[in-house]
Amino acid sequence: MLGLRVPATPEVARAVRLTYGFQFFFGLLLWIPIFYEYQKQLGLSDAEIFGIQSIYYVAFCLLEIPTGLVADRFDYRTSLWLGASVLVVANLVPVLAGNYTGFLVHFLLIALARSLISGAQSAYLYEYLHAHDAGHLYLKVEGVGRSYSLVGKIVYWPVIGLLMQWNMPSPYWLTAINAAIAVVLALRLPPIPGWQRPEGKTSKLLAGVGGAFGSLRTSRWLLLLMIQGIAMFTLVRILQVNLFQPVLESKDVPVGWYGSVLAAMTIFEAIAAARPHWLSRRIGPARSVFLLTVVMALAIGFIVPSGGVVTIVLLCLFSVTAGMSFPIQKKLLNDAIPDSRYRATLLSMESIMDRAVCAVVAVALGAYLTGGRLDEFLVLSSVVTVIVMALLAGLLIAVRTTRRRRAQLVP
């Protein structure tokens, strides 16, 4: 019923199915395997393409807190259907304006759409399950939902190059249709039992910012977990979106194979995403994210001396670790949030950190690619990530030890 071997009430099952459907259609961005080549065919340079990506990440950062506050203030479901509606418009822009300005507007609207749902989607699921005494299902549901969201990509991505040859803007038309379906599913999501619009100070959006930062100041553990997620998210975003095509191009993999390779990566990611508990139960969630991030970094580093076939294997290994790490990281953050009134806003703050780093990395990536130094960038990314994760692990251990000692002193 839920894709889980766990009993659930009909109300929970319906909400979870609708959430799965929303994740599936909202995340079905069919143009991802070809957008780099698509923009190059329309005359954009590498500097322009990666410059747009950097602006996208900056815009995402600027939009995250306002949209998170809207979700906390006016209901998570409202934020979800608004985000999907913006996504519909965003994917029609490249069809109508296939130039630098058109793609800039396209990615700015993508940033708005994704910021509207980034914290709200996870917050809705977490709060709804806990309101129905089903919070123990969250990790599995989050993982299975991410797995389902990848299934459509597995089906479509191998043929997306052919679709582009048949009708160049067809990937964008189809993505707009998928987003429209996501709007319908978001409108059908049931309300969270007992949820009420925040009163008092939280009725003012600016007061909500203060409340969220107050929660963050009181929990060093939450702050460190957010920072831990930065490395994971940046590696995944930069490799799977920005570096995927340049890496395959550097290994002389034919363009016609790009969709198939990305589909294979997605299969591995989907399988792993449905089983996040496999590792989390054995070594704990925080250690799991640490280990998986280090494996991602090493996989990126070993791409440099590898040939085409080994590179594809390493990309698939990278996808396994990415699929398993995302649900675990989301549960870690949700469990660490001290005040649920600011849940979407706090989750958005993590996204701000993620996108801010991605914006800087995207600018650097454009410079490295322009200078023909892709291998140097891959090695540097791998080494820096491993060093940062080692330092962060020490801080997490220190904070956890301090928390345990304080807990023992409390009568």
pLDDT digits (tens, 9 = 90+) for 13-39: 888 899 989 988 998 887 877 777 778
What confidence score (pLDDT) does residue 337 get? 79
* Mean pLDDT computed over every residue of the chain: 80
pTM given for the model: 0.69
**164-173, 220-229, 324-333: which range is least confident on average?**
164-173
Among 154, 26, 137, CA closest to 86: 26
196: tokens are 């009420």
pLDDT bracket for residue 4 (50, 70, 90):
very low
Average pLDDT of the residues in 305-324: 89
- pLDDT > 90? residue 233: no
Cα 23 from chain centroid? 11
- pLDDT > 50? residue 166: yes
- Please give the Cα distance from 194 to 176 (Å, whole number): 34
Q: Using CA atoms in the order 226, 299, 255, 166, what is the torsion angle rounded to 10 degrees? A: -40
pLDDT bracket for residue 387 (50, 70, 90):
very high
- Please give the Cα distance from 7 to 254 (Å, whole number): 47
88: tokens are 């519909």
- Please give the Cα distance from 13 to 28 (Å, whole number): 23
pLDDT bracket for residue 314 (50, 70, 90):
very high
What confidence score (pLDDT) does residue 287 get? 87
Q: Which of 10-14, 153-157, 296-300, 307-311 has the highest mean pLDDT?
A: 296-300
**44-53, 119-128, 200-209: which range is least confident on average?**
200-209
Q: Using CA atoms in the order 318, 319, 321, 326, what is the torsion angle rounded to 10 degrees? A: 130
What confidence score (pLDDT) does residue 149 get? 74
Burial (CB count within 10 angstroms: exposed 0-12, middle 13-18, buried 19+), residue 313: middle
Q: How big is the chain, counted in residues?
A: 411
Domains, the chain: 8-190 (1.20.1250.20), 201-410 (1.20.1250.20)
pLDDT bracket for residue 194 (50, 70, 90):
low
Average pLDDT of the residues in 36-62: 80
Among 308, 293, 283, 275, CA closest to 354: 293
Q: Using CA atoms in the order 116, 181, 186, 84, what is the torsion angle rounded to 10 degrees? A: 10
Three-state secondary-structure class, residue 195? coil
Identify the sign of the CA torsion 154, 118, 392, 239.
positive
72: tokens are 């906390």
Three-state secondary-structure class, residue 7? coil
- Please give the Cα distance from 200 to 184 (Å, whole number): 33
Average pLDDT of the residues in 402-406: 67
Better-predicted residue by pLDDT, 319 or 403? 319
Cα 377 from chain centroid? 22
Q: Rounded to whole angstroms, what are the CA distances from 376 to 307, 309, 367, 380, 389?
A: 16, 20, 12, 6, 20
- pLDDT > 80? residue 195: no
**Residue 77: CB atoms within 10 Å:** 21
What confidence score (pLDDT) does residue 5 get? 46
Better-predicted residue by pLDDT, 212 or 363? 363
**159-168, 186-195, 315-324: which range is least confident on average?**
159-168
